[in-house]
Amino acid sequence: MTNAKYTTTATPQLKISCQADLQIVGTTDNVVAIDIEDNSPASRVERQDERIVVTAQRDCDIACPIGTLLTIEHASGDLRVTQVKGALVVNLVNGDAALHDVGPVAMKSVQGDLSLRDASGDVQIEVVRGDAKLKRVAGRVVLNKVAGDLSANDLGGGLAVSQVGGDATLQTSLGDGCTYTVKAGGDVILRVNNGGGQFALNCKGDLRVRLPMTNWTGNDRSATGTYGDGSAQVTLMADGDLLVLPGNSGAAPFDPDALSEQVEAMIESAMSQFESQMSRVQHDLEQRFGKFDKQAEKAAERAARSAERAKRRAEHAAGSWSFSVGRSPTPPAPPSEPVSDQERLMILKMVEEGKITADQAAQLLSALEG
């Protein structure tokens, strides 16, 4: 295991190359903590002022300030970035990419599927070889190519997609002065929640429009018209069918994906708070009596490993959230190593000597128990 931990400003710069899975989570602490599941010389961490360069040959987990500026040269496995609001630049992901609660994004290539949601800035993506799911993006989205299907919801800043290999399903309000352009090799379905726009529609299959249009001209394959105040520009092209429909009204239908997102977001928030608490406990310990002795350091490492196991179990549960009949139950995880009497006495002694508080002791014991 290769580990590194640095105190930084609120906006450090990280440049990362990873030959396996890469996970990055933002926290409220001005600390960068790096864990690489490899202790070979090929895995290394280098720092120069506020710039940190990470080279990882195996799975890598990073906790960093929310405002961190991230440059990911490549991730040979899957990439997951959560709660990092600084600019995110990604060159290549060989697996799937999940970017949740992020800032502006510039991405060149994702060889698998892309999940992007709750982005507060502009998003620019060159190529997604699998499917792409976009939800709640405040800025403008520019996407050159999606080889699979595209699903996009709540795009406040507009959308420009040059090519979708499969179907494109969109649901959004139309922002004033924004443009929405999509070209797909399959079907295109647009559901309009609110707003109005100037529509230009072309397809090779059937064209069906269920919105009240004015200035409507065209036929069953190509048409133009105005909906509402006409403030947005909407251009849709499909090699299959093209449907333009009103958004869902009344009670929303049951959506397993949305429920999974809620569960996952709750887990991410809880784990982020826990990581921050553990970081503060360790920092307080080091400030009060210097570096850990071997016994205390061992307990701290066990607490960190236990927390990581809990996080991975929670993420797996959120990722596989579904309702299936007849599925065999998941076997229980192996029990955590019990807390030894020696470790309990050590923690109690630290409380007695005033080196940690009772709350901090409880957090350490809870983490050790897994």
pLDDT tens digits, 221-264:
999 999 999 999 999 999 999 999 998 754 444 455 554 555 55
pLDDT at 170 over 90: yes
Q: Which pLDDT score is estimated for 332?
A: 52
Q: Which pLDDT score is estimated for 301?
A: 58
pLDDT tens digits, 174-199:
999 999 999 999 999 999 999 999 99
Q: Which pLDDT score is estimated for 370?
A: 57
Per-domain boundaries in the chain = 2-176, 257-322+334-369
Per residue, what are the HEC states of the chain?
CEEEEEECCCCCEEEEEECCCEEEEEECCCEEEEEECCCCCCCEEEEECCEEEEEECCCEEEEEECCCEEEEEEECCCEEEEEECCCEEEEEECCCEEEEEECCEEEEEECCCEEEEEECCCEEEEEECCCEEEEEECCCEEEEEECCCEEEEEECCCEEEEEECCCEEEEECCCCCCEEEEEECCCEEEEECCCCEEEEEEECCCEEECCCEEEEEECCCEEEEEECCCCEEEEEEECCCEEEEECCCCCCCCCHHHHHHHHHHHHHHHHHHHHHHHHHHHHHHHHHHCCCCHHHHHHHHHHHHHHHHHHHHHHHHHHCCCCCCCCCCCCCCCCCCCCCHHHHHHHHHHHHCCCCCHHHHHHHHHHHHC
pLDDT tens digits, 318-339:
554 444 444 444 455 455 556 6
Domain 2-176 in CATH 2.160.20: yes
Q: Which pLDDT score is estimated for 326?
A: 41
pLDDT at 111 over 90: yes
